[in-house]
Structure 1
Amino acid sequence: MLTLFFSCKNEEDEALNTKTETVTEIKNEVNRVEPPHWWVGFKETSLQLLVHHPNISKATPSISYAGVAIKKVNKADSPNYLFIDLEISEIAKSGQFNINFKFEDGTKLVQTYQLKDRDKAVDQFVGFDSSDAIYLITPDRFSNGNPNNDSIKGLNEQDVDRSHDYKRHGGDITGITNHLDYISDMGFTQVWSCPLLTNDMENGSYHGYAITDYYQVDPRFGTMEEYINLSQKAREKGMGMIMDQVANHCGVSHWWMKDLPFKDWVNQQSKFEKREPLNNSNHRRTVNQDLYASNQDKNEMTEGWFVPTMPDLNQRNPFMAKYITQNSIWWIETLKLSGIRQDTYPYPDKDFMSSWAKQIMTEYPNFSIVGEEWSYNPLLIGYWQAGHKNKDGYNGHLKSTMDFAMNQNIVDALNQDEAWDRGLIKMYEGLANDFSYTSPKDIMIFLDNHDKSRVFTQFNGDITKTKTALSYMLTLPRIPQIYYGTEILMDDFEKPGDHGLIRTDFPGGWQDDAVNAFTGKGLTEEQLDMQRYIKTLLNYRKESNAIHNGKTIHFAPFNGTYFLFRIAEDETVVHIINKNENPITIDLNRYNEVGLKGKTLTNIVSGQTIIWEDTIQLDKKGSLILTTKK
């Protein structure tokens, strides 16, 4: 039995004038109400419910619950929708109440709705920063913890086929949860999983980026309870959970594509409904910053579909905008997230993205959002970051963007062998571009991910270059992200850049795997060495104030070497890159301003010590990472 309180007079008198109503049964007579529940205590007191049910527009909704009032009922173009604007005042308490829908012919529908207490304080939603290291996982390819959910009746893709790079392989939420110890022991502090929401597409559904239900966990990955448990278990091990979200597009099999609420719910909707050819995006992302961009190019960018199977959501529709924003907040609150990674950030309406980020950061001031701006131009990357002084006055309210520019500079620098310093200068000048960022240390750096060829492949199987790139990345003033399997030299040599191959199964994630990277069984000595190398660096980095917050000084490449220093009051970390094939002696007086002369430094990887004197001999090509920390 549930006791409900509702107003006898008006909203101002609710706290003093209430009586009880007894509800003996929870009603769920409406096909769909989203968000499926909400919370009390937000700064934003409005809530918009999407209600979907046959001819629901002919019904009049009513609510009797203290602190909750219907402010406006909005009809859509489809008769099967209502959008109900609620006001949830400060006096509203957690509990369940009925939304009563009365039709003109006297028939009624009843839907029970729940308001919850927020069980985590706003200041406890702490995001990621330069003290973190992020582990990116493609869940279908990481570990199959529950084979019973491999095939779910009623969904389009039924079969698991590990021999096919674009079929489902069976990895799931339980598989990630089972290996949180491995992730934590490696030294990672944040887990970013590619989308885990329902992707009920006819093929290629394993990757998760064509979402067909924004409030449902894909049952082939697991249950809502398992997703919540994953986040909780990660927090218990000191790791945050980052959710991959997609505001730009959905999957063409999304439930609403069969009954779109408004004529402009998705871009090019008229063409879609008439089955006319659709225009894909021109992918000219620079139109967001270009002072001279034509409206034609802007429209082709923002209104074109990313691919034909991914309808482009129209965030200029205010109901769509509200839907996306509320969905993000719902997941933050449900999973107790530390951050959001927003896919294809430049593709949606940019004013909406600013509003979206601002609303989230207003509710969660310590939260983190990183946007995917796939550009090798730091000016475009910096444009989105909060507080950046843009000529057009745009404020993206975004804490972090992804550093594709530095990513490319590192790879190009180490792959260019024909001259000592020419390649290293690309890396040096790439870091010198940090003046273009409002906060460089809040930018996310990476070498590979679910869309880019494996870094070991990018370096043509060169382990020394791979180690050098990773160690440099981990000492930069950045937030580093490492893709699952990079620590064991996973590659895509067979088809470089092929998405299905980039997302290869992690060995040991399936019961019959002969090789198990979680335990080390069957790994080659080179793979074990790389795994130990990354683990050593990450665990040192975890406790390094110099890397987290220290001053950065680097010196222009000289004699085929490049010196980078990270300096805090109690610690200096030195990263040296050497591209010389033969031993070389370097005059250290060039670096006297750093103040290391006479100090003892320890090799972070080997544990050996040296005294910083007038010279240092570099015996082999690669990187050397030293610290003054005892």
Structure 2
Amino acid sequence: MRKSINTILISMLLCSPVTFAFDSVRRVEPLNWWVGMSNPKLQIMVTAPGAKQSWALKRYDGVTLESVEFGDSPNYAFINLNISEKAKPGELELSSNDDKYRFYYTLSARAKGSADREGFSTKDVIYLITPDRFANGDEHNDSLPTMKEKADPTFRGGRHGGDLAGVITHLDYLQKLGVSQLWLTPALLNDMETYSYHGYSITDLYQVDPRMGDNSLYKTLSVEAKARGIGLIMDMVPNHIGSEHPWMNDLPTQDWINYKGQFVGTSHARQTVQDTHASEFDKKRFTDGWFVPTMPDMNQRVSFLGNYLTQNAIWWIEFADLSGFRVDTFPYSDKTFLQFWLKSILAEYPNFNIVGEEWTSEAGISAYWQKGHQNKDGYESYLPTMMDFSLQQALVKALNEEENWNTGWIHVYQSIAKDFQFADPNHLLIFGDNHDMSRIYTQLHQNVKNTKLAMTLLLTMRGIPQLYYGTEVLLDNGESDDHGDIRIDFPGGFKNQQANAFTGEGLSREQREMQLYTEKLLEIRNNYPALQNGGLIHFSPFDEMYAYARGDEHPILIILNKGNVQKTVDMNRFAEIIRGKVSATELLSGQKYELENVMIGAKSALLLAL
């Protein structure tokens, strides 16, 4: 029986580290599609020498070829199909007018309930991993002859060998820890000369980097994680590609890359998006400028590219059964494109969740992008979730500063008090650190007790908590703020390490204590809905303490003491929360408390279930 050309293409892309070519048809993207999608339109991008010509579709019930469009290069064709409701799974046959090219394109059946999938939510705790630095599950793919950069574990900016197999091997550890969502920094192909380990210079948007595994293994990761109650979040990068991407040698249109494909740096002046006085020059320089010369900035105003990026996102959701996206450098993309991209994805998956990175402590700038926010310029965003950099910075200041009326906990209080600016503050992603900043233990000057207080707040506060891998065992980048040191190897994930965080062997007493404390906090959060989606009332800081309550019917009162001495807490200030109750159970210790004057230890927390 004849095996379809595109089936072979997909099979080789899923299982092989090499790029497949057939009859000089270099690429057909998306790799396949599905019947029964909300949007019947599909634009297939064909890459082949001389592809700029007429194309025909052999008769297929329910599918019509509406048009073929072209850019500036003679080597691309954009075939516009309409896939109606009556179309069935099968293979489309498409051929070029000169009959030089012919390929078979697979239409698949969607998984049951795919459109109704639930995205990550306030019920979840996200665990962020830089896969090259987490665990090496397959040493055979560390260095490959087809890849430009080889493994160099001794170089902080080199590839250390972590991969998808390593993550899969340790899913039981993540399940035991208590996390319910997994966010990997990009695992797609980064065939760059140097610094390819971080994943943000993508050179193929449809292929997992073979040093990480392949598409099939990525799908296995999703399946195995889901079997343990863990969803998979993909890190999407619609703003830029890597300079070694094949497009850079043959741009589909002359304006495919901003500034005519030549490096002009971004200003990083994110406020220009909302600034009613901003010049057009400054607006363009922010969104169109490149981060670095090795990251060409894509011009999503080109309709072909906008369609390509949107279909690519939908393809990964459907193919890998994803529960969410984290969008890198969100505001740097064209904001009209972002509307189209988000609206298209959420039309297919109404309950899907997407979180955007807007690195600012200014709530007003961040709130601009969240779905439901009424913007003065009339711009309507469809982004459900934002990263809460304001709370992250406030938390570090609060725990590092001496307490006074305008220092210490007041930063956290004021950050939370700005929630009125957000359309939905419960859908803010809260975190102590991530892959782009010093580790929280480092930021808190290696103070274990303060790190515990930080984790307590993050796992009991409103929002969706995210932990960076190794926070639970006090990973530390010391005096260095080099990203290669921030993204340190996870203990036990690589050969010849003295400690193993997966088993607990070789960890210091403080590391093991922190690990168990994190597990306990996660257990409590997972067992008490009030900490997931309950209302929030907080109290102005007092006597080196910050307190807040979660939940309505059965509230939990959280009191955090950063002071160096034991304190007596006058519970009368919490009368509106206590409402006549006389006792509570402290969730960390299980101890019973009478709700009169409560004692709290130095640099410790109370979680009082009333």
TM category, shorter: over 0.9
2:598 aligned partner: 616
2 CA distance for matches of 1:36 and 1:123?
Answer: 20
Q: Name the CA distance, whole Å, in 2 between partners of 1:66 and 1:143.
A: 48
1:128 equivalenced with 2:128 (yes/no)? no
Comparing 243-252 and 510-519, the one that deviates more: 510-519
Structure 1 runs of 4+ with >6 Å offset? none
> What do residues 225-246 of structure 1 show as CA deviations (whole Å, max 9, x unaligned)?
1100000111111111000010
Question: Equivalences for 1:73-222 in 2 at 5 Å?
Answer: 73-103=68-98, 107-158=99-150, 160-222=151-213
Is the 8 Å Cα contact of residues 549 and 568 (structure 1) preserved in structure 2?
no
Which SS does the other structure have where 2:445 is aligned? coil
2:592 and 2:527 map into 1 onto residues whose CA distance is 19
Could you say what secondary structure the match of 1:423 adopts?
coil
CA distances 1:141-195 after superposition (whole Å, capped 9, x unpaired)? 000001111112211002x221111000000001001111111111100000000
Distance 1:558 1:150 in 2: 53
**Are residue 502 (structure 1) and residue 486 (structure 2) matched?**
yes
Q: State whether residues 24 and 49 of structure 2, in contact with CA within 8 Å, keep that contact through their aligned partners in structure 1.
A: no
CA displacement at 1:606 relative to structure 2: 2.1
Match of 1:309 in 2: 294
Deviation at 1:579, TM superposition (A): 2.9
- 1:446 shift after superposition: 0.5
Report the Cα offset of residue 597 of structure 1.
Answer: 4.6
Q: Distance in 2 between matches of 1:38 and 1:605?
A: 49
- In the aligned structure 2, how far is the partner of 1:465 from the partner of 1:187? 22
Q: Which amino acid in 2 is paired with 1:389?
A: Q
Which residue of structure 2 lines up, in the alignment, with residue 243 of structure 1?
Answer: 234
Could you tell me whether the CA contact under 8 Å between 1:386 and 1:395 is conserved in 2?
Answer: yes
Tell me whether 1:483 sits opposite 2:468 in the alignment: yes
In the alignment, the residues of structure 2 paired with residue 353 and residue 543 of structure 1 have an alpha-carbon distance, to the nearest angstrom, of: 37
**SS at 1:145 equivalent:** coil
Q: Which amino acid aligns with 2:141?
A: N
- Would you say 1:410 and 2:376 are equivalent positions? no
Q: Deviations over 1:542-596 (max 9, x none)?
A: 1211112212111111222221111232x32121122332333221111111125
- CA shift, 1:29, in A, is 5.6
Measured in 2, the distance between the counterparts of 1:217 and 1:52 equals 20
Give the unaligned 5+ runs of structure 1: 5-25, 273-277
The separation in 2 between residues aligned to 1:604 and 1:203, in whole angstroms, is 48
SS in 2 for 1:510: coil
Q: CA deviation at 1:627?
A: 2.0
Contact 1:420 / 1:579 at 8 angstroms: preserved in 2? no
| Distance apart, 1:61 and its partner CA | 3.3
CA distance in 2, matches of 1:123, 1:154: 38
For 2:162 and 2:235, how far apart are their aligned partners in 1? 17
- Alpha-carbon distance in 1 for matches of 2:63, 2:2: 17
The 5 A counterparts of 1:6-45 are 30-45=25-40
Note if contact 1:421-1:560 (Cα within 8 Å) is conserved in structure 2.
Answer: no
State whether residues 561 and 578 of structure 1, in contact with CA within 8 Å, keep that contact through their aligned partners in structure 2.
yes
Alignment of structure 1 residues 483-562 onto 2, 5 Å: 483-495=468-480, 497-562=481-546
Letter in 2 for 1:156: K
Q: Secondary structure at the match of 2:329?
A: coil
TM-score (norm 1): 0.92
> Distance between the aligned counterparts of 2:330 and 2:112, measured in 1?
28
- Contact 1:29–1:110 (CA<8 Å) still a contact in 2? no
Aligned alpha-carbon RMSD (Å):
1.7
The Cα of 1:299 is off from its aligned counterpart by: 0.7
Conserved in 1, the CA contact under 8 Å of 2:55 and 2:94? no
User: Which of 380, 387, 396 matches 2:372?
Assistant: 387
* Structure 1 residue matching 2:607: 3-state secondary structure: strand
TM-score normalised by L of structure 2: 0.95
1:409-457 C-alpha deviation (Å, 9 max, x unpaired): 1111111115377311111111111111111111100110000110000
Letter in 1 for 2:607: I
* Partners of 1:267 and 1:253 in 2: CA distance: 16
**Equivalent in 421, 425, 447 of residue 462 of structure 1:** 447
Q: CA deviation at 1:55?
A: 1.1
AA matched with 2:155? H
For the 8 Å contact 2:115–2:348, the answer to whether it is kept is: no
Partners in 2 of 1:336 and 1:169 — Cα distance? 28
**Larger radius of gyration between Structure 1 and Structure 2:** 1
Structure 1 match to 2:8:
none
Against the structure 1 CA distance between its residues 511 and 580, is the aligned structure 2 distance closer, same or farther, given a 3 Å change threshold? closer
Q: CA deviation at 1:59?
A: 4.8
1:434 aligns with 2:412: no
Give the equivalent residue in structure 2 for 1:269: 260
8 Å contact from structure 1 (residues 162, 169) kept in 2: yes
- Partner of 2:297, secondary structure, is coil
CA distance in 1, matches of 2:358, 2:494: 34
Amino acid at match of 1:329: I
Partner of 1:574: 557
Q: What's the CA shift for 1:204?
A: 0.2
1:72 is aligned to 2:67: yes
CA–CA distance in structure 2, aligned partners of residues 536 and 584 of structure 1: 24
1:54 alignment partner in structure 2: 49
Give me the whole-angstrom Cα distance separating, in 2, the residues matched to 1:30 and 1:244. Answer: 29
